[in-house]
Structure 1
Amino acid sequence: MHLATSKSTHNFAKKFSHYKDFYIKHNNLVFSKLGLGTFNKEPYKEENYVFHYIEGVKQAIRSGINLIDTASNYRYGQSEKEIGMALKELFEAKEVDREELIICSKGGFIQLDYPFPKNPYLWIEENILDTKLARQDDIELDQHCMTPDFLEWSCLKSLENMNIKALDIYFLHNPEMQLMKLGYTKFLKKIESIFKRFEKMVEKGMIKYYGIATWNGFTNEKNSQEYINLEDLVEIAKKVGGKNHKFKFIQTPFNIAKTSIYTMPTQSVKGEECTLLQATHRLEIGVISSSSLLQMNLFKKSFNPEVGYLLDSQMILKNDIQLALHFVRSTPGIISALFASKVPVHIKENLEISKIKSTPRTKYDLMYRV
């Protein structure tokens, strides 16, 4: 097998004595409630290439994380390649099996190459336009493309970078970037062509499930030019893939400062307004949340003591980073919450939250009144 399985992901969880509260089953797979992300801002900066995620990925898996998330454009493919290096070491040492891990990537942004090409426009011309993966009009802001041919090519690049045979989840990355240009009706037709290709990629064994990863598409107000209604996407998936379609996940930001997916009625299902998390529950779509630490912007001042007490009344957690991760991990309706870290000691410290139970729903909801 080249994909995560129910039995193997369950066996992975059982390696950790606290597994019953830190793992959750969804779509017949067992997920760790925290996942490791590999995004780093401003990839043009040279300092983004003097570090690597190899040791961080290994530490995360050794500490109980089995969900690894990346994207083809993160650090122009370097993040994917470093995940591949870490996995190779762990597989060869027989510390973990491929079937125990849930590996996700995303396509939509043009990944370019590392080292960064001297002329990125020429690179796009030679690699995307001349090869007929897309036309110039398909590319938004010289960086985003979502033709089916480009996305399949991008997925193959991700598999090559990580040296794996298939992805457990493949996300269409920030499609709302092209919504304003296309308009909603044409946007949905584009999504239909993409979902058709994704279903074929499932049949080919390249991916197990597919999804949509957005920054604000699902949480914008309905009159926004970047608003996406999740129910429309599910209907498209049913149209192209039938009742057994493989559109099963979304990825969206959520953290202690950005809580709209839990609190704001930005979606509607069967004509009834609801929050995004309510919509995903009704539509049977799993939620993996991103930006759990808001790229460390949550910590410019200390958290309210009342919030800390509600999250951790026994005062076991040592810092606000752990509290922030415990907050997202405890949120009802979220399968797993991503955080990015490359320092093994930080990852090990963050995973201390797995040793305590999630905050009960009654206490969790009280935080929104503090």
Structure 2
Amino acid sequence: MAHATKEGTFGYLKKFGKYSKDFYRFNGELFFPSLGIGTYKAEPYKEDNYIINYAEAIRMALRNGINLIDTAINYRYQMSEREIAEALNPMFTTGEIMREEVIIASKAGFIPLDFPFPDNPYGWIQENIIKSGLASADEVIIDQHCMTPAYLRWSCEQSLKNLELETIDIFYLHNPETQLGYIDQETFYGRIEAAFELFETLRSEGKIVSYGIAAWNGFLYEADHTEYISLAKVVGIARRVGGEHHGFKYLQSPFNLAKPHAYGYANQQCEDGKFYPLMHACASYGVTYLGSSPLLQKNLFKRPFASNVGEMLNTSELSDVASALQFARSAGAISAIFGAVDPSHVMDNAILAYLPEASVDAVNTLMRGAYAV
């Protein structure tokens, strides 16, 4: 098979019989690890983006029960995707891993440029996006974000080339709220609809299996915020475009000890007319929720955690990083996606696979305790 399958992901998890029975979760289609590996690197202009390589960390993750790989075309000017191919191809060739065992997610929306960083990025956009007919100048927002169907198709097909794959399992529209404040709500949801129409076409072509939205704050703001995104409206668009069996299956947003709004802030309206937290709303609409930034890009660790945090999360003998990941994977997300370049960090995080997730009481207590940090 050219994509992840229920049978493949189930076969993969059976290799790790010593892990806690709740480390893997099933959403009706695939078995997910409760920790996934991401390939985002902050501050992309820094020189270390030119010397780091995610390939060894990805191989280490796959050898230790973590078969969800999250990326985006714009991460490190397309290099993160290419390094995933570098990691996977030898493993596929030897049979160490099969394609149907691995869940691969990528994203489109931000303009990726290319590696190495071009001398004139604005010239790159003009030449590769506007002159190529992928978008007009006014459809490129603040020289970085674009949601035209032509551009999103190009982005998907370029990601497939970078990843050296036939099919992407989860294809996200990346931070669409970037455009709010520059375009009105009607135009915004119209662009979402056009994007979803394209994604349904890409599904029919076998280039993606499912799609979703990966947002930063869009689904977490109060409903009257300029950049707020209504999940109810998005689901309505998916149903209108794709029918009962539409492919809008996934939503990703930050969830961590300092940013727990997806679990505790009732800002999304469900079909009963009442407002609920994002995780609850996703479950209500049949959308699988994944948590990003479980370490808040390491900003959680400016001072040590309170001593009772580890006690409640059963991570007293582990690091604050482990405690943060334990919290992020225990509150309702099917998976919490961490970034790691160093294979030893992957091993440190994979230790959590032996531990049961934290209890609901522990999560709720930490929520009440001003997020415990």
Give the 3-state SS of the residue equivalent to 2:73 in structure 1.
coil
- Map of 2:227 onto structure 1: 226
The one-letter code matched in structure 2 to 1:298 is L
- Map of 1:184 onto structure 2: 185
- Map of 2:364 onto structure 1: 365
Q: CA deviation at 1:19?
A: 5.5
Q: Is structure 2 residue 312 aligned with structure 1 residue 310?
A: yes
Cα contact 1:109–1:144 (8 A) shared by 2: yes
Give the 3-state SS of the residue equivalent to 1:133 in structure 2.
coil
Q: How many residues align?
A: 367
- What are the within-5 Å matches in structure 2 for residues 47-66 of structure 1? 47-66=48-67
Cα contact 1:202–1:208 (8 A) shared by 2: yes
Cα contact 2:20–2:355 (8 A) shared by 1: no
Q: CA deviation at 1:329?
A: 1.1
- Map of 1:107 onto structure 2: 108
Q: Is structure 2 residue 214 aligned with structure 1 residue 213?
A: yes
Q: Distance in 2 between matches of 1:27 and 1:236?
A: 22
The farther-off stretch of 265-274 and 209-218 is 265-274
The one-letter code matched in structure 2 to 1:347 is V
Cα contact 1:13–1:19 (8 A) shared by 2: no
1:1-33 deviation per Cα after TM superposition (whole angstroms, max 9, x unaligned): 101010010010110021621100013100000
Q: Distance in 1 between matches of 2:363 and 2:295?
A: 18
**Structure 2: 5+ residue runs without aligned partners?**
none
- Map of 2:256 onto structure 1: 255
Give the 3-state SS of the residue equivalent to 2:22 in structure 1.
helix
Q: Distance in 1 between matches of 2:132 and 2:253?
A: 32
- Map of 1:22 onto structure 2: 23
- Map of 2:127 onto structure 1: 126
After TM superposition, what 4+ stretches of structure 1 lie above 3 angstroms from structure 2?
A: none
Q: Which of 266, 286, 289 is the matching residue for 2:288?
A: 286
Q: What CA RMSD, in Å, does the superposition of the two structures yield over aligned residues?
A: 1.0
Q: Distance in 1 between matches of 2:368 and 2:216?
A: 26
1:33-91 deviation per Cα after TM superposition (whole angstroms, max 9, x unaligned): 00000000111122211110010000011010010000000000010000000001211
Cα contact 1:212–1:251 (8 A) shared by 2: yes
- Map of 1:328 onto structure 2: 328
- Map of 2:353 onto structure 1: 354
Cα contact 1:219–1:261 (8 A) shared by 2: yes
**Structure 1: 5+ residue runs without aligned partners?**
none
Give the 3-state SS of the residue equivalent to 2:195 in structure 1.
helix
Cα contact 1:251–1:290 (8 A) shared by 2: yes
Q: Distance in 1 between matches of 2:162 and 2:191?
A: 27
- Map of 2:70 onto structure 1: 69
Output the TM-score relative to the length of structure 1: 0.97
Cα contact 2:78–2:115 (8 A) shared by 1: yes
Q: Distance in 2 between matches of 1:306 and 1:192?
A: 46
- Percent same amino acid among aligned pairs? 45
